[in-house]
């Protein structure tokens, strides 16, 4: 009989132990935070990634643009945040108080990759409105761009890729945009960028030396064994197409990698780098796509738009910088006005010039402002245009501010005791922006009074009951032993 009692006691002990562990498991499970994300977009006041939720703190990254340019001078009081405002008119709702707010210069940018595409055609050796070689103005702008990015860029990588096509030219080095040329991303403070800039500077200095030598001595002959890079045609469309394809493949690989790490983690785009192209050109596309023969054929741009630009809208942003005289200024130039009669210059005007020297001069000065603008607008980038180096440098800084500039703000969600869905809206009234709406879950710890009752019901009460039963069982064993 003693053995039976001992066996029953052991069985009861095992049951009690398993019950306690089951209770603990239920508590842990009930406290797990499993977020479910969804979002919408607004192109003016934009929450650029999924809100980050840590316990009851919610952090938003917001970009405010006007005509696609960053508005960087806003203050904390210019922002109003509304959570779960069911009314269309936010005046019926109370704004959320911000716990922390940072302007674009204070916030840390998200991971970003930037390709700087630099036109290296022969016309870049010519002087701009300020009397400086256009390539020199471009080099100075990119150098300043890189220096500022090294300080403010955070986890930003970039690569400088010159492009040109030697076409029918001899003694001219080709600069095709290849995967090898593009796949050289390095941090903004890397010496690689300075080396690339120094190389361009050396080649420009050499070209200017040969140009002066030829001017001073018409019989001067350039050394045959020294090829030039600053020559050739402007293969703008093909270079841009190759860059888009490369970044598109990079974007797809990153998405696949995030999905393989955790297919259920919809917050994985926090690690997805932003992709930007900064394109500087002083001309127009003079190299048609392989299946097309005419440089002015509109189907060249249509192919670029349909096959390369449109498929990556929202994934790759392209900023364009035109460097030179506007088509309107060319149309009014005395050298061309007799043919153009003051009208804005365009590609099809090339054939109107019968004088070959004037025709080639016009071709080297024509900048395709229209299509550069369309490329930027279609991909939600910035389009800039200028004829002197100082303005070009400032335009590059404007683009940089837009790429890495974002407002960062944190607030506390009160009285949230479950992982329900919540909507947050950001409104910037000072520039008349439209409302930006996002849906997000807030995942919080269970409130303290609920946790107390949970612990009492699932741990303390069962444990107390178990102790009582063990005590009673022990007393019963003592009685039977007497």
CATH of span 38-107+407-441: 2.60.40
The Cα–Cα gap between 154 and 109 comes to 6
- Decide if 38-107+407-441 and 112-324+367-404 have a common fold: no
Assess whether pLDDT exceeds 80 at residue 197. yes
> In which band, very low, low, confident or very high, does the pLDDT at 224 lie, cut at 50, 70 and 90?
low
Mean pLDDT of 367-389: 96
Assess whether pLDDT exceeds 70 at residue 200. yes
Mean pLDDT of the chain: 81
Give pLDDT, residue 50.
Answer: 78
Give pLDDT, residue 416.
Answer: 59
Give pLDDT, residue 63.
Answer: 86
Assess whether pLDDT exceeds 80 at residue 231. yes
Give pLDDT, residue 43.
Answer: 45
Give pLDDT, residue 448.
Answer: 57
Percent of the chain with pLDDT over 90: 46
Give pLDDT, residue 58.
Answer: 87
Query: Residue 89 in 3-state DSSP?
Result: coil
Q: Which residue has the higher pLDDT, 382 or 225?
A: 382
**Domain definitions of the chain by residue range:** 2-31+461-481, 38-107+407-441, 112-324+367-404
Per-residue pLDDT of 283-308, as tens digits, reads 999 999 988 878 999 999 999 999 99
Please tell me the least confidently modeled range out of 85-99, 337-351, 441-455. 441-455
Per-residue pLDDT of 387-419, as tens digits, reads 999 999 999 999 999 898 889 999 987 765 555
Angstrom distances, CA of residue 337 to CA of 47, 128, 332, 344, 392: 49, 20, 5, 10, 27
CB 183 within 8 A of CB 246: yes
Mean pLDDT of 324-351: 93
Angstrom distances, CA of residue 461 to CA of 10, 11, 14, 453, 467: 21, 20, 17, 10, 10
Q: What is the pTM of this model?
A: 0.76
Name beta bridge partners: 49.
none
Mean pLDDT of 318-337: 95
The Cα–Cα gap between 150 and 248 comes to 25
Q: Does domain 112-324+367-404 have CATH number 3.40.50.1860?
A: no
Backbone angles phi, psi at 423, to 5 degrees: -110, 135
Per-residue pLDDT of 58-71, as tens digits, reads 888 898 887 777 88
Angstrom distances, CA of residue 424 to CA of 110, 293, 370, 421, 437: 21, 53, 38, 10, 6
Give pLDDT, residue 221.
Answer: 66
Give pLDDT, residue 420.
Answer: 65
Q: Which residue has the higher pLDDT, 220 or 363?
A: 363
Token pair of 182, please? Answer: 């593009």
Q: Which residue has the higher pLDDT, 394 or 213?
A: 394
Own/partner contacts of 69-74, CB < 8 Å, gap of 24 or more, are 69/382, 69/398, 69/402, 70/104, 70/398, 70/401, 70/402, 70/405, 71/428, 71/431, 72/103, 72/104, 72/105, 72/401, 72/405, 74/103, 74/407, 74/428, 74/430, 74/431
Per-residue pLDDT of 49-58, as tens digits, reads 778 888 778 8
> In which band, very low, low, confident or very high, does the pLDDT at 20 lie, cut at 50, 70 and 90?
very low
The Cα–Cα gap between 88 and 79 comes to 18
Please tell me the least confidently modeled range out of 40-54, 201-215, 358-372, 444-458. 444-458
């Amino acid at each position: 009989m003693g053995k039976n009692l001992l066996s029953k006691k052991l069985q009861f002990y095992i049951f009690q132990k398993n019950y306690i562990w089951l209770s603990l498991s239920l508590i842990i499970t009930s406290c797990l935070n499993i977020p479910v994300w969804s979002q919408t977009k607004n192109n003016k006041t934009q929450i650029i990634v999924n809100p980050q939720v840590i316990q009851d703190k919610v952090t938003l990254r917001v970009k405010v643009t006007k005509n696609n340019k960053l508005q960087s001078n806003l203050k904390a009081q210019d922002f109003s945040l509304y959570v779960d405002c069911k009314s269309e008119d936010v005046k019926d709702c109370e704004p959320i108080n911000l716990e922390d707010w940072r302007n674009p210069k204070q916030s840390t940018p998200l991971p970003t990759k930037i390709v700087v595409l630099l036109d290296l055609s022969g016309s870049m050796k010519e002087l701009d409105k300020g009397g400086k070689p256009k390539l020199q103005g471009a080099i100075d702008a990119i150098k300043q761009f890189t220096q500022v990015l090294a300080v403010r860029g955070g986890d930003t990588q970039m690569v400088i890729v010159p492009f040109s096509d030697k076409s029918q030219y001899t003694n001219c080095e080709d600069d095709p945009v290849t995967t090898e040329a593009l796949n050289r991303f390095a941090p903004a403070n890397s010496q690689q960028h300075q080396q690339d800039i120094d190389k361009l500077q050396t080649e420009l200095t050499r070209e200017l030396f040969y140009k002066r030598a030829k001017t001073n001595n018409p019989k001067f002959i350039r050394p045959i064994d020294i090829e030039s890079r600053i020559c050739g045609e402007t293969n703008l469309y093909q270079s841009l197409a190759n860059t888009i394809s490369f970044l598109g493949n990079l974007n797809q690989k990153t998405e696949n990698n995030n999905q393989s790490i955790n297919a259920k983690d919809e917050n994985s785009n926090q690690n997805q780098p932003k992709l930007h192209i900064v394109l500087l050109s002083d001309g127009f596309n003079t190299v048609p796509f392989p299946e097309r023969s005419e440089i002015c054929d509109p189907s060249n741009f249509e192919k670029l738009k349909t096959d390369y630009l449109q498929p990556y809208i929202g994934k790759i942003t392209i900023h364009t910088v035109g460097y030179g005289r506007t088509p309107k200024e060319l149309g009014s130039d005395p050298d061309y006005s007799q043919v153009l009669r003051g009208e804005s210059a365009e590609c099809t005007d090339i054939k109107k010039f019968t004088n070959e020297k004037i025709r080639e001069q016009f071709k080297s000065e024509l900048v395709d402002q229209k299509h550069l603008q369309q490329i930027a607008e279609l991909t939600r980038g910035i389009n800039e245009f200028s004829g002197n180096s100082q303005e070009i440098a400032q335009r590059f800084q404007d683009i940089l501010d837009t790429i890495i500039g974002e407002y960062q703000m944190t607030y506390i969600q009160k009285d949230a005791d479950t992982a329900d869905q919540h909507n947050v809206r950001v409104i910037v009234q000072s520039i008349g922006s439209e409302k930006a709406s996002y849906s997000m879950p807030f995942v919080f710890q269970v409130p303290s009074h609920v946790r107390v009752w949970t612990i009492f019901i699932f741990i303390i009460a069962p444990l107390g009951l178990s102790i009582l039963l063990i005590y009673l069982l022990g007393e019963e064993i003592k009685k039977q032993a007497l």
